[in-house]
Amino acid sequence: MKQIKFIHTADLHLDSPFVGLKHMPSHLFEKIRESTFQAFTKLVTFAIKEEIDFVLIAGDLYDGEDRSLKAQLKLKTEFERLAKVGIEVYVIHGNHDHMSGKWLNIEWPDNVHVFSSEKVECKEFMKNGSLLAYLYGYSYPTRAVMENMTKHYVRKDNPSVYHIGMLHGSVEGNKEHDVYSPFKVSELISKDFDYWALGHIHKRHVLHHSNPMIAYPGNIQGRHRKETGEKGFYVVELEDHEVRTEFISTEEIIWKEVEVSIEGITTISELIQKCEQIIFAMKQTNKSTCLTFVLTGIDSFSTTIHGQDVQGDLVDILNDQAKETEYFVWVVKLINQTSQPRENNPKLEAFLFDLHKTVENYQSFDEIMEPLSKHLVFRQYIEGYTTDERKQLLKDAEQLLHRELLQNNESK
């Protein structure tokens, strides 16, 4: 069988609003706003340079169901660049950019092939007049597709071509992300495809390494502090049913999280100096960075950090250095996980253990949030919480209770 070489990407989230960063200096925020577009431009430039056969986009091209005109026009420009050199593009839409949204229709160039939202569809890839691959895919008709769609992926009876599935969804039972179009890995393997191009999970992850390879490439640009590290796409080569992959990074802005221990620190100045050394080292990489500091350690200095407005002032001081540099390092958050030394108290330790277990197994989040959801301001600005955001809120609440209990115990 002839070799084919393609790009597997997903979760572009073009024109992501980066809501939590609007307080940044305008010229830095504009760089971040443009980062999703810049990342996709890098992908297209790579595809042209490397003479890729086709590009697979496994859902969530846009950040919202009401696709902005800006995002559509920029996407069209990049698709036209691919069209000029004969590179085909195959697209499925996911939960963020499902087909029931509202947008101004844009006419795509002829090299763009969008899969149906009515059924799993099969499309052909032809090269120099020869059929080389069948591609199977399905676009979300609405935001929440809860059906396991794998039963509708039926392999055509043609062993002389490659069979590639495109699916936007998550493994059945996954509790780390919102579950849409759930599937079992064993079900995908049973389809006898050569490759499964997945989307939805923003972390790069290979579920099965060969016969077939089943993979998430992750998103092409991190959008918040939970999406750390390199982001990009897979270059995939298929030859005689063997698969070779290479990950190519595209992120314009990288998100990082760094732990800083307070043990041995006695003054705020020492803490600032320690953080500034980390920032200086990051600037030498010539990569703009959104940085989260996580303060750790058990030390009496913890009392100082817990003081009113101290954490906010620290962030402001550390960000003074970011305003006039080409490659910036911006501190987006400072998380305080420090604690004070304490005497051994079996009853308190048992209570804190029970508190941790209660938070870990908490199931009534929506019930507790219901009164707040009725508030006018809350409804206006908060659409809801993702699974990751819920976990973080519960963790923050646990840490707050933990500190209050320790402080009250020490004052007695």
Output the pLDDT for position 398: 67
* Cα torsion through 310, 313, 319, 320, rounded to 10: -140
Q: What is the CATH number of the domain that holds 120?
A: 3.60.21.10
CA distance 107 to 76: 8
Output the pLDDT for position 387: 62
240 and 318 belong to one structural domain = no
Last residue of a domain, one of 249, 265, 288: 249
378 and 232 belong to one structural domain = no
Output the pLDDT for position 382: 58
Output the pLDDT for position 46: 98
31 and 176 belong to one structural domain = yes
Domain with 261 in it: 253-411
Cβ-count burial of 44 within 10 angstroms (0-12 exposed, 13-18 middle, 19+ buried)?
A: buried
Residue pair 398/356 in contact (Cβ under 8 Å)? The answer is yes
269 and 165 belong to one structural domain = no
Output the pLDDT for position 223: 95
Output the pLDDT for position 303: 86
Reference 185, options 201, 202, 163, 169; nearest CA is 169
Return the H-helix or E-strand segment holding 277.
Answer: helix 268-283
Q: Kindly give, in sequence order, each residue whose CB lies less than 8 Å from that of residue 81, ignoring residues fewer than 6 positions away.
A: 44, 48
181's torsion region: left (phi>0), alpha (psi -120 to 50) or beta? left
**pTM, rounded to two decimals:** 0.86
228 and 357 belong to one structural domain = no
CA distance 9 to 89: 11
pLDDT along the chain (412 residues), means of 10: 96 92 90 96 98 98 91 97 98 96 90 97 97 98 95 96 98 82 97 97 96 97 96 97 95 97 95 96 92 94 84 93 80 90 67 71 70 64 60 68 62 54
Cβ-count burial of 309 within 10 angstroms (0-12 exposed, 13-18 middle, 19+ buried)?
A: exposed
Omega before 212 within 30 of 0, i.e. cis: yes
232 and 174 belong to one structural domain = yes
Output the pLDDT for position 389: 64
Q: What is the DSSP string of 350-407?
A: HHHHHHHHHHHT---HHHHHHHHHTSHHHHHH-----HHHHHHHHHHHHHHHHHHHHH
**Burial state string for 57-89 with b = 16 or more CB within 10 A and e = fewer than 16:** bbbbbbbbbebbeebbebbbebbebbbeeebbb
102 and 207 belong to one structural domain = yes
